[in-house]
Chains A and B, each alone.
Chain A
Amino acid sequence: MQGLRSGMPSAIEVHGLGKRFGPVRAVDDLSFEVAQGRVTGFLGPNGSGKTTTLRMLLGLVSISEGTATIGGKRYADLEHPIRHVGAALEATSFHPTRRAEDHLKSVALAGGVPLSRVTETLETVGLTDVARRRVGKFSLGMRQRLQLATALLGDPDILILDEPANGLDPQGIQWLRSFIRNQAALGHAVLVSSHLLAEVEETVDDIVIISEGKLVLQTTLADLASQAGSGTGMRIRTPEITRLAEALNAVPVAWRQIAPDTLVIDGATPEWFGPFAAEHRIVLYELVQEKGSLEDVFLQLTTGFDAPRPVDPAPGGPA
């Protein structure tokens, strides 16, 4: 199947995916695609089902309904899966007394990957100096890097990263961004989850937004940005608010008053409003162009839901 937008083949396909934990429907009829050579942001508030979806995709959590495939195959059916898919799920899954190098060696041996990759990936993530250190002594940021090294070990075409920015310092986040962009530049598909759009805004090409385990929107970042742009408006402060209101009522624009001396005109530009105000000889104290941010759109799309709710309105609330 071809990707919807990019024209490149889909690396990951999710169709009608569902997961029930008892009465809780954590993921519900979810469908989306991840294209090869692009970075897809998998976004949703905490508890919206992102991690469950990724774990179903990776065969760690059983699927209640639907399918989740990688290159057309279920994860468990891949021969030496870590050569195809690299996954970094959580920063805690290391044995504390094991050295970073030994951790990677054990994964390489079990996964059918040459041991030379251990040194290479340690270098890629910048952990060469601490290769012989026990992971128990690692900071959260170093663990995240070691997770990434683990994911990269099999030199996979597809990377799945669950909240990789958690615990990283600003420098680390900057490094992570360029790392992800590099992966896409190499032609790899990257699916990266986050509960903050701002965190991945500079990195992703495509966006999948879920809320309450359901798909809200699959789109490109460019489309989302233009949606955000449509929220553009002018904020105007004037001592002659009544006259301005009368003048605006005569033209087809939407506006609203937000303070005794201030109003906002939707979709207006300074190029239009400047001459308009001059024509009506209205005195202005302040004229500001307002841009709706991507984060506003994101919040608008996902607002109000923090956790999946029971299918039945049973007493007890969310589990």
Chain B
Amino acid sequence: MSRGLSVDPSDAVPLWKQIEENVRRLVASGALKPGAAVPSVRDLARELSINPATVAKGYQRLVDAGILAVKRGEGTFVADKPPVPARGERDRELEAGATRYASLAVTLGAPSDEAVEHVKASLKMLRRKSSGGAE
């Protein structure tokens, strides 16, 4: 599973947030099925060479959001029923992202088709990455 999980320490986004977003993405894309096991804090920290406290924080947020669940003595797993983001919120996020991207395309003077092609290609690549290491 961790094949789909990578972090960039020098990235602007805090590491714990990167982990959180990565896991959300994997779960949402179906690469991580409900009930599937995720690496322990220790193992993931070792693999990524990052502070376990950081991993722990990301996991905690995921647990709080109901995406992950801890089973005592057995480990951490994807929740049986991970919440799906509310439609309204999802639409707002997509719209905000689209607006940002569109203004960027306009600024750069890219024609609409080209802009859309880029979006499709990115989606494809990301989806492939997420499912590449899936069980």
| Co-complex (A, B) | no
Interface on A for B, CB 8 Å cutoff?
none
Interface on B for A, CB 8 Å cutoff?
none
